[in-house]
């Protein structure tokens, strides 16, 4: 006698459908809850130039922004930095330079 074959049972298909529907319902509930939660967004950028008022010009997705530096350090053009937008992507006017990024050459020993 050859290897035993498992017969397909109609309940298995129903269980797969149930699992799919359950996961979709959970995803929909999470999306609804998370849409009202705001969080900081931090992204890498490069200093383009220093402005006369002490802010720094950066480029984000092709748009120029003047942002203050929260580090208390003098930054140079072409320096790699981290920029933070408080409360997500809605407050571009409140973004600030929150850190200095190390280049690959400086990170290696």
pLDDT digits (tens, 9 = 90+) for 13-50: 677 788 888 999 999 998 888 777 778 889 999 999 99
In this predicted model, what pLDDT tens digit does every residue of 52-91 receive, in sequence order?
999 999 988 888 999 999 998 899 999 999 999 988 666 7
Determine the pLDDT at residue 8.
54
What is residue 63's three-state secondary structure? Answer: strand
Tokens (6 digits) for 93: 């006017």
Hunting for tokens 């009202």 — which residue is that? Answer: 36
Mean pLDDT of 80-106: 83
Could you give the CA distance from residue 68 to residue 78 in angstroms, rounded to a whole number?
A: 16
Could you give the CA distance from residue 69 to residue 8 in angstroms, rounded to a whole number?
A: 64
Is 96:67 a contact under the CB 8 Å cutoff?
yes
């Amino acid at each position: 006698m050859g290897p035993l074959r498992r017969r397909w049972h109609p309940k298995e298909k129903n269980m797969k459908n149930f699992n799919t529907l359950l996961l979709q319902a959970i995803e929909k509930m999470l999306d609804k809850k998370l849409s009202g939660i705001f969080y900081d967004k931090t992204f890498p950028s490069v200093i383009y130039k220093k402005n006369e008022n002490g802010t720094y010009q950066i480029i984000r997705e092709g748009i120029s922004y003047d942002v203050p530096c929260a580090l208390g350090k003098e930054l140079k053009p072409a320096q790699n930095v981290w920029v933070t937008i408080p409360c997500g992507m809605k407050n571009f006017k409140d973004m600030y330079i929150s850190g200095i990024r190390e280049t690959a050459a400086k990170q290696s020993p």
